[in-house]
Structure 1
Amino acid sequence: MNVKPLGIVRKIDELGRIVIPKEVRRQQGWTTGTPVEMLGSEDGVFIRPYSIGDQDAVIRALEAKKSFVEDVRVKKALDLAINTFK
């Protein structure tokens, strides 16, 4: 793994959160709602986008449709479908 310092330092807030700078998110193509996972090693903690494989595209499509649906029953059905893929 080739790791280089970015020269960016952030403090952990009182709730344990760290803000990922906009420049880093933009460079990585991460938008609001992008799932990320943390990996630990002897050298520290690393963050990368989380993927569950081919099902990612299906989940994103269902979530996008859900945002346009107003019928509560349809939203619940979409939620159920999304959760079966997770």
Structure 2
Amino acid sequence: MKPAGFLCKIDKLGRVVIPKPLRSKYALHTDDTIELFTEPDAIIIKKYAMSCTFCGNSEDLTDFKGKPVCADCLNKLKELNS
């Protein structure tokens, strides 16, 4: 992983401020949702993108019983039901 050149401190509440240049570069805005992942020696921050419950695709999503489902998986569900 290539260092971005920023050092940030964690405050008493455990918060970290993501520097403005990084927020701009990765299109992170106020009230956006992010995901946190861990690796043995790293914490990864990723902008959250809703994805299909079954295949992980993030395009052409529809709500199916409260879950995001892509068009391909929705068609497969319809085939199973017929």
Unaligned runs of 5+ in 1: 59-83
Task: Name the structure, 1 or 2, with higher relative contact order (CA <8 Å, separation 6+).
Answer: 1
- Report the structure, 1 or 2, having the larger strand content: 2
- Report the structure, 1 or 2, having the larger helix content: 1
TM-score, reference length from structure 1:
0.58
Taking only the aligned residue pairs, the percentage that are identical comes to: 33
Q: Residues 31, 85 of structure 1: CA spacing in aligned structure 2 closer, same or farther, 3 A cutoff?
A: farther
TM-score, reference length from structure 2:
0.60
Give the counterpart letter for 1:37 in structure 2. Answer: E
Unaligned runs of 5+ in 2: 52-57, 69-82
Give distance in 1, aligned partners of 2:13 and 2:19: 18
**Structure 1: 4+ residue segments shifted above 6 A:** none
For these two proteins, the number of residue pairs brought into alignment is 58
Give the counterpart letter for 1:18 in structure 2. Answer: V
| Alignment equivalent of 1:21, drawn from 7, 11, 19 | 19
Q: Which structure: larger Rg?
A: 2
